Amino acid sequence: MSMSLYQIMYISTVVGTVTSQQCAAMAQMSAINNRRNDVTGLLLFNSRRFLQVLEGPKDAVDRIFTRIHADPRHRAVVKLREGPIDAREFGEWAMAYDDPARPSADLKDKVAALLVQAGPSTRAHFIGSADLHRPAA
C-alpha cells in the first residue's frame, strides 16, 4: 500500500533574534515531533530567515505548517510550493543553519550535500538562499 506524500516549502522571517543555540534547540524539538508524524524535510536558517521543506502524509504536513504559521517567532510566512509528491526529496530529517556570530563560508556546500536527492526547483531555492547569505569576504 503506497501512502500519498505531500510537500510544503515555505520561507519566513524570524521575529527578534534567534541564537544558534535556540535554533539548534528548535530544530531538535522539530525533528522529534516530525519523526513522530513521519514528516521529513530540510530546514535552512541563516539568522534572519527560515527556508523549510516539509514532506510526509498530507494531514501531518498541513498540521505542522499551520502550527508554524501561528508561531509568533515567525512573520511573513510565505508558502513557496505545495502539492503531492511521488517520493521524498529528503529521506531523513536534515538541517543546515548558520551561526549569526560566525557565518559559515561553506553553508552552500553543506546545503548542496543535503540536496543530492532533491528536484531541480527545490535545489534552486535552497542554493539561492545559501548564496544570498554568504558572508562578505
Domains along the chain? 5-132 (3.30.70.100)
> Phi and psi at residue 2, in whole multiples of 5°?
-100, 130
List per-block mean pLDDT (blocks of 10 residues) for the chain, which spans 137 residues.
81 84 80 86 81 92 94 90 90 62 63 69 68 51
Which pLDDT does position 131 carry in this prediction?
Answer: 60
Which pLDDT does position 12 carry in this prediction?
Answer: 92
Structure-block grid coordinates of residue 91: 529521506
Which pLDDT does position 64 carry in this prediction?
Answer: 93
Which pLDDT does position 137 carry in this prediction?
Answer: 47
DSSP states of 40-96? EEEEEE-SSEEEEEEEEEHHHHHHHHHHHHH-TTEEEEEEEEEEEESS-S-SSEEEE
- Residue in this structure with the C-alpha cell 535556540, named with its chain if needed: 22
Which pLDDT does position 110 carry in this prediction?
Answer: 66
CA nearest to 124, candidates 92, 76, 78, 89: 89
